[in-house]
Structure 1
Amino acid sequence: MNLRQIRYFCTVVEAGSAVLAAETLFVAPTAISMQLAQLEDHLGGELFDRSRRPMELTSLGKYFYPRAKELLSHAVRLDDETRGIASGKRGWLGVGFVRSTTFTVLPTAVRKFRESCPDVHLDLVEVLSEYQPEQLRQGRIDLGISRFIGPFEQSGDLNYAVMLDEPFVAVIPIGHSLAGQKSVSAVELSELPFILYPKDPRSPFGLQMLTALESAGGRPIVGYEAIEIHTALALVGAGLGVTLVGRSIARNNRRDVKFIPVRDIDLTTTLVMITRNGDENKLIPTFRQALTKGGAR
């Protein structure tokens, strides 16, 4: 049994006769008859009652027809999707991201990617930077968008592309006196409890922020720990303390906090796209281009 036989069979059913089916398929009626005979021989029974005019489906034919139609539909879809994947226009792309990118490059990147590849299933997975390499190796994601402070470890089997490098700014409750200043110092930030994030044993991110403040003469005391940046910002908005974020985060429209430069810390955060070495998935460069349009370089 092959797809040609199944297609010929379904066309005969829909056309009402082998002659009309032959006209539809632009083949000789004898070709239709030969393919049907081979199909029936393979299945071990007749699909048509040829004693009737017009001929009708047998009970075997009635069983076979809807399933044959479904199989043809799957075959057509498989052909279409595979060609789309080969051209980089269809398929599946897993993207791991850190929560902070939802304030900045990710929403625009997703919209731009959707515009160029509307038929691609985009699987967005929120995952901390420290966990993205293993997810790449496992095939759970195809690319990761990570955020680091300072130098970061790079594995030999992965490719790292810096997309954005930016300084930190302080996040201060809108009602606090510091919110009226053009800039703040590490010492001034120590007036309020520090809100540490992300709360995860494998992430050094929070500790690196504290170290930078201490190096500038500040004495930050951790008042709260947040699992992710949204919670940290909400705690600042509630007046419970201060924190630090990358400058691009200030694009969000929170009205309960103020984003202010810190004048005496030399601290930057880097947004990095990570992929597997030698990955030939054509959707990856397409998504990278979308990231660039979203604000990353």
Structure 2
Amino acid sequence: MIALQKSATEKVRRVAKGEAGQLRIGYISSACSNFLPDLVRQHSVSHPNVQVTLLDLTVHGQQQAFKNNDIDIALTSPISDAAQPMELKTELIYNDEFVLVLPQDHHLTKVPSIALIVLRDSPFIVFKREEAVGLYEQTLNAFKAAGVTPLISSQPRSMQTLLVEVGAGLGIGIAPHCIKRLVSNTCAFVKINDVSVSIPLVAQYKHSPMNPTVSSFVNLLAERKSEIQRLVSPQ
């Protein structure tokens, strides 16, 4: 009986310190694929009794997951202050930039950069507004900065679908640079030289009360932030 009481007390202590329990992370695969695996692996080494669950979700899906208490932390694009739940804290991880996504046989795939206005008469494929309102608004800001009124031919719900549609010749894509990390042998990615719009990736989590397992992961993110920024740099 004493041994069971000690075991139960130790379990409670571990959970309270974030050394045991669960950590459910919602993430955007294109934005996180080249740093999240190593980050989770490092966290698991130092916190072997924390069960980590990774959920590939759009921004909209992450916000719904927070409402349903299905995730503890999101690696996501920020939403407007008006739509932001008060209990969520937001911390910047890194800033991305837009690139043009061209079909592999497009005549401009070999140039180092393109002015967006050069392609003003092309049909454009952009990520669906309802899945990431902030990204959609940033995309429109990029067109506005270039003096382009876009003909938007498609709004896919996933970045992988965007690549498939561009590869099929259905339009020109505009997306964050991180899309290059997804699998595609039918698309080329070219820098845009007449607009500069930062696309932040942030960590969002409930901080009142603060989940101890989230706290340990947030601390690891802070420690690795400079390394992550170097790793994902578009330059």
Q: TM-score range by the shorter chain?
A: 0.7 to 0.9
Whether the 8 Å contact between 2:135 and 2:199 is mirrored in structure 1 is no
Q: Name the % identity.
A: 25
| Matched residue, 1:160 | 90
- 1:261-289, Cα deviation, whole Å (9 max, x unpaired): 11111211111111112333232233235
Aligned length: 226
1:134 deviates by: 5.3
In proportion to residue count, which structure has more helix?
1
For 2:66, what is the secondary structure of its paired residue? helix
- Greater relative contact order (Cα < 8 A, sep 6+): 2
In structure 2, do the counterparts of structure 1 residues 208 and 135 end up closer, same or farther at CA, with 3 Å as the change threshold? same
For 2:25, what is the secondary structure of its paired residue? strand
| Matched residue, 2:168 | 238
Residue pairs, 1:25-174, within 5 angstroms: 81-130=11-60, 132-133=62-63, 135-136=65-66, 138-148=68-78, 152-153=81-82, 154-174=84-104
Q: Which has the larger radius of gyration?
A: 1
Q: Distance in 2 between matches of 1:103 and 1:237?
A: 21
In structure 2, do the counterparts of structure 1 residues 111 and 257 end up closer, same or farther at CA, with 3 Å as the change threshold? farther
1:180 deviates by: 0.9
Gaps of 5+ in 2: 231-235
Q: Distance in 1 between matches of 2:36 and 2:46?
A: 15
RMSD across aligned positions (CA)? 3.1
TM-score, normalised to structure 2, is: 0.78
Q: Give the AA of the match of 1:269.
A: I
Is 1:277 the counterpart of 2:207 in the alignment? yes
TM-score, normalised to structure 1, is: 0.64
Residue pairs, 1:221-260, within 5 angstroms: 221-252=151-182, 254-260=184-190
* Aligned counterpart for 1:193 among listed residues 118, 123, 128: 123
| Matched residue, 1:268 | 198
Whether the 8 Å contact between 1:105 and 1:296 is mirrored in structure 2 is no
In structure 2, do the counterparts of structure 1 residues 275 and 287 end up closer, same or farther at CA, with 3 Å as the change threshold? same
Q: Distance in 2 between matches of 1:205 and 1:116?
A: 34
For 2:165, what is the secondary structure of its paired residue? helix
